[in-house]
Amino acid sequence: MENKAGIFERLDTVIIRVKNIDTSKRWYTEVLQLKNLFEDDKEKLVVFDTGGAASVTIWHLKEDEILQQKSAAGTFPIFLSPDAESIHKYLKENGVEASSITESEGIKFFFFFDPDGNKLEVCQTN
């Protein structure tokens, strides 16, 4: 077996837990314009194409689970874009909560939040 990513072949997906799978599916499809690759109604999850090797999967919280607080440190996906400013403008125009754009040593980035307050990031490298 060829060693591509340490002991793994590659990163497959990033899981984002959500409170309402239908609301989140609509938001990720309509606002972020991500293509739905797979749905499992029993498990209440949807896998989205991100244009790369790894996907993003939204997964409905179980009854005894709670979301991490928005301000808490945690894992989040970073979406690469050739134009962070236009993505920022688009998201703001679509009612998405987003931080201001930060520029630092050849990169521009900002954070934004899904309907459940899950943190996501857009990054542009020069």
Contact 44, 59 (CB under 8 A): yes
* pLDDT above 60: residue 1: no
pTM above 0.85, yes or no: yes
pLDDT tens-digit map of 52-70: 999 999 999 988 887 776 6
Query: Token pair 């239908």 is at which residue?
Result: 22
* pLDDT above 60: residue 121: yes
Distances (CA, A) of 123 to 8, 35, 43, 95: 25, 20, 31, 20
pLDDT the model gives residue 27: 98
Contact 123, 108 (CB under 8 A): yes
Q: How far apart are CA 80 and CA 82, in angstroms?
A: 7
Nearest to 75 by CA among 123, 14, 5: 14
Q: Which domains does the chain have, with CATH numbers?
A: 1-63 (3.10.180.10), 74-126 (3.10.180.10)
pLDDT the model gives residue 73: 66
Residues in Cβ contact with 43 at an 8 Å cutoff, skipping those fewer than 6 apart = 59, 60
pLDDT tens-digit map of 21-51: 999 999 999 999 999 999 999 999 999 999 9
Give the strand order in the sheet containing 35-40.
Answer: 13-18, 55-60, 45-49, 35-40
pLDDT the model gives residue 4: 76
Query: Token pair 């499992």 is at which residue?
Result: 40
Percent share of the chain, pLDDT over 90: 79
pLDDT tens-digit map of 70-108: 666 678 999 999 999 999 999 999 999 999 999 999 999
Instruction: State the chain's mean pLDDT as an integer.
Output: 92
